[in-house]
Amino acid sequence: MPLSRLVLWLAIVLLAAQWPAEALALSGEVTHLSGAVLARRADGQTRILTVRSTVDEGDILATADNSFARVRFPDGTDLVMRPNSQIRIDAYKYEEAAPERDNVIFSLIKGGLRTVTGLLAKRNPNKYRLATPTATVGIRGTLFGTQFCNDDCAGLQTPSGRPLENGLHVDVSDGAIIISTNAGSQEFRIGEFGYVANINVLPVHIPPEQGFRVQAPALALGQVVAAGAGIGRANDLECAVR
């Protein structure tokens, strides 16, 4: 090998060795989708997502009408997006051997989302949160749904047949969540439903017949194609999303 090429190769190897591990790893991978799903990066570039597409910090993911997407993250977290929904990956830091660096922040901008939390939330629940326009959701090892309505939930209704009011609707299928607003915080446990009208009022518990459970199609509940078994499995979603 010529000396110049050898020097260049060694420089690349040394640079890669010094680069932070989290900078080399992508945040998540699309494992299932149906319909049209887009990702907009922080620099404004937009791309169409397919199965095995990767997503990263700063990306805004958006589903169109009649479209679903399931995204899996390295720690085993699964996010299933409903039609006409948008989420932003504000932060995702996870290293299996460095729990002190854990940090996950997702933002539900509009629409609905079902979440199965992974290893990060189990070992560092205070380092995981979901932001919404009306409240912030903290978790304690959880399977839960969130639906935010802003004059865009036509066709969605409670088991009693009532249309969904504007605000945040939540349901918990496993574990617990803590919802916080400017007025305070409330805990919601397995089997409970909640509602937050706006960011300046307390979250309230509501009876099941007035609650809304976020649902996803069978397509999003099959065997995950991405690596990382054991946490956030397809069966976990199937138990609560039918």
Tell whether 227 is covered by a domain: yes
* Residue ranges for the chain with pLDDT beneath 50: 6-8, 10-24, 223-242
Q: Is residue 73 part of a domain?
A: yes
Residue 166 belongs to domain spanning: 27-240
pTM: 0.81
Supply the pLDDT for residue 231.
32
Number of structural domains (the chain) is 1
Let me know if residue 189 belongs to a domain: yes
pLDDT score for 14: 45
Domain containing residue 206: CATH number = 2.60.120.1440
Three-state SS sequence of the chain:
CCHHHHHHHHHHHHHHHHCCHHHHCCCEEEEEEECCEEEECCCCCEEECCCCCEECCCCEEEECCCCEEEEECCCCCEEEECCCCEEEEEEEECCCCCHHHCEEEEEEEEEEEEEECCHHHHHCHHHEEEECCCCEEEECCCEEEEEEECCCCCCCECCCCCECCCEEEEEEEECEEEEEECCEEEEEECCCEEEECCCCCCCEEECHHHCCCCCCCHHHHCCCCCCCCCCCCHHHHHHHCC
